[in-house]
Amino acid sequence: MEKIAASLMCADMLNIQKELDYLEQAGCDLLHLDVMDGVFVDNLALGPEWMTSVQKKTSLPFDIHLATEMPEKFVEMFRFLQPETISFHVETAAHPVLLIKRLKSYGIKPSLALNPATPLEDILPYIDEVDQILLMTVPTGFAGQNFHQETLEKLRELKNILAQRNIQPLIEVDGNINTQTISWMKEAMPDVFVLGTSALFQCDDANSYQKRIQAVRQAINTYR
């Protein structure tokens, strides 16, 4: 069963309680939270105090993406929130295996994040140990970017490798995910779909959110 994750960096921050209520009513499965340090990417986003306030206002589980250098430090900053998943970029970790083990010891599912420009080979030594792989279909850092078509081949190759190894980490996709780009993934359908400005946000009411999420689920089931 597919999971729909709403990217909160795309939400109306001045009306976040309303946004959270609408997402819950619409049947969203996860809240995707991008942590950016201004070093690994040229942007800043979503600190632990803000996430603490959000967590008090929703029952939806957190899916945290560390778009940062030194993910070891940021894991310690965010682990008290007990997110369902924390993703980190393998090139930023001093010892990826040790960080994966640390996340598991905290009861958090480890996930590897992969930018379009990062070779798939970089994560292959670690994919047997993680619960999820976050495949970015745009470069990490900013909302509103165009989908990178070359990531479709990377998605197909990843699916084949997982099948060959007989392992089943979830594949999550993030970056301009909508009904059209989902149709392009029909040869290798992911499991978790992060929705942002192109498919979900900027709605006026809960019913609009529900219709958009239903349209995405229908597209997934059509092309699966």
Q: For residue 12, what are the contacts with CB-CB under 8 A and spacing of at least 6? A: 18, 19, 201, 202
Name the active-site residue from 29, 37, 63, 174: 174
Is 41 strand, coil or helix? coil
Q: Are 9 and 194 in contact (CB under 8 A)?
A: no
Active site annotation includes 34: yes
d(CA 107, CA 100): 11
Cα separation values, 60 from 31, 33, 179, Å: 6, 12, 23
Which residue, chain included where needed, has tokens 């529900």?
A: 210
**Phi/psi of residue 19, each to 5°?**
-60, -45
- Annotated active-site residue in 29, 34, 37, 63: 34
* Residues ≥6 apart with Cβ < 8 Å to 131: 85, 109, 110, 111, 169, 170
What residues are labeled active site? 34, 174
